[in-house]
Amino acid sequence: MGISQLSSILYITVLSLLRRAIEAGATGRGGDIIIEAESLTLRNSGQLQAFLRGSEEPNSGAQGRPGTITLRLSRDFTARGVGETGLSNSLFTSVGRNTVGDAGDITVQARSIRLRDGSRLVTETDGQGNAGRVIVRADRSILLDGDNQDTPSGIASSVFAANNATGSRRAGDIEISTGNLSISNDAIIFSNVEAGAVGRSGNILIDANSMALTDGGQIQSLLRGTDPNSNLVGARGATGLVNIDLEQGTLTISGVSDNASAIFTEVQPGTSGNAGRVVVRAGAVNIENVGIISSSTSGTGDGGRLNLQATRAITVREGGDIRTAATEQSSGQAGAVELDTRRLVIEGAGSSVSATSQFTGGGNIIINAEAVTVQDTIVGESRDGILASSELGRGGRISFSPRLETLRINNGSVSASTNTGEAGSLTIQDADLVWLSNSAALSVAANGGGGGSGDIDVNARTLRVENGAQISASTVSRRSELGNQTVRDSNTNRGSGNITLRNLESLEVDNGVISASTRSGQAGTLIVEAAAGSVELRNRGRLRVAASEAGGNAGDLEVTANRFLAENSTASVSSAAGQAGNLTLDANAVQLENGRLTARTAETGANISLQNVEQLYMRSGSQISAPASEFATGGNVTLDNADGFTVAVPGEDNDIIADATLGQGGNINIDTLGIYHFGLAAISLSLTTSTPVHSSTAKAASTLTLLTPIRAVD
């Protein structure tokens, strides 16, 4: 038989207790507690309880099913204050130790709900059975306010270790429906499997108009790790789903100092099982000041997936974090992160969207947004932003969908890198503008010895790299698969790592770098294709493929453009002690103003080829050179200018060079309608321009082939 109370306003205070229990050793069904009233207040340790009484003796606990607790209130439910005993206000259903049966559900319906001072709605199982569900509905609002350091306010469902449990058990689902949900001051909603238990945590399902977690407020679903104090091993099972549906409302997560506010699923050290997904649907998501949405694994299972959908914007700022992770204690994979929004902003020190791992694979990051801004996330050695990295495993994939219009990275980082593993890949499928400035980085790098670089694939109309910004694929030492960089229209596979920038109308590199490099490994190939557009290098801007140490080889550099400009800038392939690749420039107009086209090698010659050039213009000490060091053979320089002209401003030391220090110089072949203001002394062959060095060791002389006379123009 249940306990039923129908009243206008009801107070349960100062150790007042409504209890329905099946005692240890008994078998049966407990009665329900049902209260129907306008308002209910629990104050100073007021409690409602329904449970199976447990026992420390095996097979001696109660058996059956305890009752449920139901509140139907037309106005308010409030629980606040702590009595002299220190016990919190609570609605509590449970099955105790050595019992057999499922805990009852807790249902609260009201206009508004306030839980303060450690007040809780709790259902749990310590026996052979499942915890109950917690169903909370409030038309206007729900406030969970901690204000109790020993016992935070909240809503909870748990599975604890049980002596008599013979199989997997389940924590109950937590279902919340309200207008506004506020969780603050360490208040918490959780569904957990505790240490020593085998089971699955319940789902946490929230439907609200708006929601805020502040000052340490949290929502969590976890497998609890090994407890050294009780000798309990880590939990086994899985965490549940956390699903938050705010329609067009706003989700705000804001912590304070080192007290994070967070929504997360987690499998802790010593556990076995997978972390559940976190799904958020909202109009806007704001994560700031140590606010976190995460799914992580430190056990043998995988991390969960994060899916965030916000019709207006997702903002991560001032230490906010959206992340999945597989820590150094985990053998599982990090989960994926998927963000779907109109505008994504990541701003300030410590702010990031990341999917990282220590030994296994980093998770993938998928961004479906019209506008993305990553700003001021690089502070000192900290390089935050968008990261899909792994210390020793393979980095994840970062992908921007075709919805993207603009990507602006200002003093921030987008990276799929590794230390000694394989770097991941980075893809921008279709963008109007990609703009990197002020030390910004777009990178797939292997920063430790033996690591392999990954791919960068960008389809954009306009690309700007300026003020110390860089796009890079780099390695340290040799590995079978190494990074290439490609900027092009077609998706030709040119190696294990490609940077692909397609459909370019304009590439501007102004005091910035696009680089495929290595120390002693194999650098990849850099291909830039803007067939109908322009490529402009200014103010020490660089296109570079380089190997800087002994044993390192450099790949090719290929540029296709309608117009190419290098002003106080360089396009180069080089290897300090190995083989450099070739430099190929296919452009209608080539303008060098103190510009350099260089192919420098320490082994067989690296060649320079200028193709389909109608106009080559050189001034202010510009140079096209293919030198070789030591006894290596110099590279060849070929100028296909058959339908155009080559013009150089006289007296400004403009040179075309194919030389070697001690070996054989390369050949220079020029096919052009006319060469103006050059003079033979400006075309350098063999060892040096004028006085040979160690000429007695020179190999066969290089050749100069001119298919047109050199003319001077007044």
Residue 681 has pLDDT above 50, yes or no: no
Quick one: pLDDT at residue 517? 75
Position 642, amino acid: A
- pLDDT per residue over 202-218, tens digit each? 999 999 999 999 999 99
- Contacts of 157 by beta carbon, 8 Å cutoff, 6+ apart: 122, 123, 124, 131, 132, 133, 134, 171, 172, 173, 174, 190, 191, 192, 201, 202
> How many angstroms separate the CA atoms of 88 and 48, rounded?
11
- Nearest Cα neighbor of 372 from 458, 244, 489, 485 is 458
**Highest mean pLDDT: which of 13-17, 61-65, 616-620, 706-710?**
616-620
- Contacts of 597 by beta carbon, 8 Å cutoff, 6+ apart: 566, 570, 571, 572, 583, 585, 608, 610, 623, 624, 625
- Nearest Cα neighbor of 63 from 50, 51, 78 is 51
Residue 37 has pLDDT above 60, yes or no: yes
**Neighbour tally for 377: CB within 10 Å:** 27
Quick one: pLDDT at residue 688? 32
Are the C-beta atoms of 133 and 96 separated by less than 8 Å? no
Structure tokens at 12: 């349960």
Quick one: pLDDT at residue 298? 94
Position 365, amino acid: I
> How many angstroms separate the CA atoms of 132 and 175, rounded?
12
Angle among Cα 541, 641, 539 to the nearest 5 degrees reads: 10
Quick one: pLDDT at residue 148? 63
- Nearest Cα neighbor of 400 from 374, 418, 379, 380 is 374
> How many angstroms separate the CA atoms of 428 and 19, rounded?
61
The residue behind tokens 């503008």 is 433
Please state whether beta strands 352-357 and 188-193 pair in parallel, antiparallel, or not at all (unpaired): unpaired
Quick one: pLDDT at residue 9? 60
- pLDDT per residue over 492-528, tens digit each? 333 345 777 888 999 999 999 998 876 555 667 888 9
Between 57 and 539, residue with greater pLDDT: 539
Mean pLDDT of 239-247: 97
- pLDDT per residue over 271-291, tens digit each? 999 999 999 999 999 999 999
Residue 526 parent element (H or E): strand 526-538
Residue 196 has pLDDT above 70, yes or no: yes
Between 328 and 423, residue with greater pLDDT: 328
In DSSP terms, 572 is beta-bridged to 544, 598
- Contacts of 674 by beta carbon, 8 Å cutoff, 6+ apart: 645, 646, 708, 709, 711
Residue boundaries of the structural domains of the chain: 1-230, 241-406, 582-714
Mean pLDDT of 597-611: 83
Residue 325 parent element (H or E): strand 321-326
Residue 647 parent element (H or E): strand 637-648
Confidence band, pLDDT 50/70/90 cuts, at residue 600 = confident
**Highest mean pLDDT: which of 129-133, 255-259, 548-552, 652-656?**
129-133
- Nearest Cα neighbor of 536 from 559, 567, 505, 514 is 567
3-state secondary structure of 696: helix
Are the C-beta atoms of 672 and 642 separated by less than 8 Å? yes
Are the C-beta atoms of 286 and 257 separated by less than 8 Å? no
Residue 188 has pLDDT above 70, yes or no: yes
Between 166 and 694, residue with greater pLDDT: 166
Please state whether beta strands 382-383 and 378-379 pair in parallel, antiparallel, or not at all (unpaired): antiparallel
Rg (CA), the chain: 34
Confidence band, pLDDT 50/70/90 cuts, at residue 675 = confident
- pLDDT per residue over 70-108, tens digit each? 999 999 999 988 766 667 889 999 888 888 889 999 999
Position 49, amino acid: Q
Quick one: pLDDT at residue 603? 72
Confidence band, pLDDT 50/70/90 cuts, at residue 53 = confident
DSSP letter assigned to residue 328: T
In DSSP terms, 194 is beta-bridged to none
Quick one: pLDDT at residue 660? 75
Quick one: pLDDT at residue 605? 66
- Nearest Cα neighbor of 244 from 216, 214, 283, 215 is 283
Between 54 and 5, residue with greater pLDDT: 54
Quick one: pLDDT at residue 1? 32
Provide, for the chain, the percentages of residues in helix, strand and coil under a 3-state DSSP scheme, each rounded to the nearest 5.
0, 55, 45
Torsion region of 246: left, alpha or beta (phi above 0 gives left; psi -120 to 50 gives alpha):
alpha
Quick one: pLDDT at residue 3? 44
Residue 318 has pLDDT above 80, yes or no: yes
Quick one: pLDDT at residue 409? 98
Least confident of 29-38, 393-402, 690-699: 690-699
Quick one: pLDDT at residue 69? 94
- Nearest Cα neighbor of 456 from 498, 404, 492 is 498
Residue 610 has pLDDT above 90, yes or no: yes
Quick one: pLDDT at residue 680? 43
**Could you report how far apart the first and last alpha carbons of the chain are, in Å?**
114
> How many angstroms separate the CA atoms of 270 and 301, rounded?
10
Position 462, amino acid: T
Least confident of 310-314, 348-352, 371-375, 657-661: 657-661
Are the C-beta atoms of 307 and 338 separated by less than 8 Å? yes
Report CA 130 to chain centroid distance, whole Å. Answer: 37
Position 296, amino acid: S
Which sign, positive or negative, has the C-alpha torsion 97, 99, 101, 106? negative
Q: Cα dihedral angle (277, 281, 285, 288), rounded to 10 degrees?
A: -20
- pLDDT per residue over 134-175, tens digit each? 999 999 999 999 876 678 899 999 999 887 677 789 999 999
Q: What phi, psi does 568 have (nearest 5°)?
A: 55, 40
Torsion region of 359: left, alpha or beta (phi above 0 gives left; psi -120 to 50 gives alpha):
alpha
Quick one: pLDDT at residue 410? 98
Average of per-residue pLDDT values in the chain: 84
Report CA 684 to chain centroid distance, whole Å. Answer: 50
Confidence band, pLDDT 50/70/90 cuts, at residue 466 = very high
Quick one: pLDDT at residue 316? 98
> How many angstroms separate the CA atoms of 562 and 587, rounded?
5
Confidence band, pLDDT 50/70/90 cuts, at residue 111 = very high
The residue behind tokens 């308002």 is 39
- Contacts of 614 by beta carbon, 8 Å cutoff, 6+ apart: 588, 589, 641, 643, 644, 645
**Highest mean pLDDT: which of 134-138, 146-150, 572-576, 666-670?**
134-138
> How many angstroms separate the CA atoms of 495 and 501, rounded?
15
Are the C-beta atoms of 529 and 503 separated by less than 8 Å? no
- Contacts of 489 by beta carbon, 8 Å cutoff, 6+ apart: 502, 503, 504, 529, 531, 560
- Contacts of 121 by beta carbon, 8 Å cutoff, 6+ apart: 90, 91, 106, 108, 115, 134, 136, 154, 155, 156
Written in H, E and C, the secondary structure of 343-410 is EEEEECCCCEEEEEECCCCCCCEEEECCEEEEECCEECCEECEEECCECCCCCCEEEECCCCCEEEEE
Residue 684 has pLDDT above 60, yes or no: no
> How many angstroms separate the CA atoms of 633 and 663, rounded?
5
3-state secondary structure of 697: helix
Quick one: pLDDT at residue 365? 96
- pLDDT per residue over 411-450, tens digit each? 999 998 877 667 788 999 999 999 999 999 998 877 666 5
3-state secondary structure of 171: coil
Position 675, amino acid: I
Which sign, positive or negative, has the C-alpha torsion 227, 230, 231, 232? negative
The residue behind tokens 């220090």 is 661
Confidence band, pLDDT 50/70/90 cuts, at residue 17 = low
Residue 39 has pLDDT above 90, yes or no: yes
Q: For the chain, what percent of residues have pLDDT higher than 70?
A: 82
Quick one: pLDDT at residue 484? 46
Mean pLDDT of 186-190: 96
